[in-house]
Amino acid sequence: MKNYLVYFIFFLAFLERTVFDLGPNFELVTLAMVLSAFYLNPKSSLLLTSLLMISSDLIIGNNNIFIFTWSGFLIPILFIKHFKNLKLNNIFSGTLAGISSNLFFFFWTNFGVWALDSWGMYPKTILGLMSSYFNGLPFLKYQLVSTLLFVPLGFLIFDLILKYLYSKNFIFKLRQITAF
């Protein structure tokens, strides 16, 4: 059952990217990625996140830094298991994982913008790289705000749904319904 809930979150993240965009870097991808890394195996999480990014980018488009964007969401999956092993509840651990993923995404993708700068926006100097990071700060702000909002809320709702579904009452009712 939890797999279906994770798939549903990925579907919502896909819709958010393609249909009802909430704004620059105000997104549900981090929630989907972190939840899948907590509740699915790493291979499934990597596959689902890859499919989300590729399929939504086919619709909305991307530019020459797509490899940094996609890997900016994929690489953190490999490290989220360390947050899962913290002696904290999932909401707090998941939020820490999301914030860490946002910071990685920020540094990685802004490095990509600087390194692959085909627009001539940033000189290939340390000052140019610092300018790329400085100009990316508003995007980081929105991504952090969305993570601080959606990840704890997502984990809370997810855990409540799982507790309800696995409660004895629900299982008993489900057995009654399927007994006919």
**What secondary structure letter does DSSP report for 75?**
T
Q: Is the pTM of this model over 0.85?
A: yes
The string of pLDDT tens digits covering residues 133-174 is: 999 999 999 999 999 999 999 999 998 988 887 776 665 665
- Predicted pLDDT at 3: 82
Contact assessment for residue 88 and residue 81, using Cβ atoms and an 8 Å cutoff: no
CB atoms within 10 A of CB 69: 19
Helix (H, G, I), strand (E, B) or coil at 124: coil
Section 88-114 average pLDDT: 95
User: What's the pLDDT tens digit per position in 31-65?
Assistant: 999 999 999 999 999 999 999 999 999 999 888 88
Q: Do residues 144 and 102 lie in contact, with contact meaning Cβ atoms separated by under 8 Å?
A: yes
Query: Residue range 7-24: average pLDDT?
Result: 92
- For position 128, what pLDDT does the model report? 96
Quote the CA–CA distance of 18 and 83 in Å, as a whole number: 30
Handedness of CA 131, 106, 71, 85 (dihedral sign): positive
For residues 107 and 139, the answer to whether their CB atoms sit within 8 Å is no
pLDDT at 123 over 70: yes
Two structure tokens written together for 57: 């980018």
**Mean pLDDT score across all residues of the chain:** 90
The answer on pLDDT for 117 being more than 90 is: no
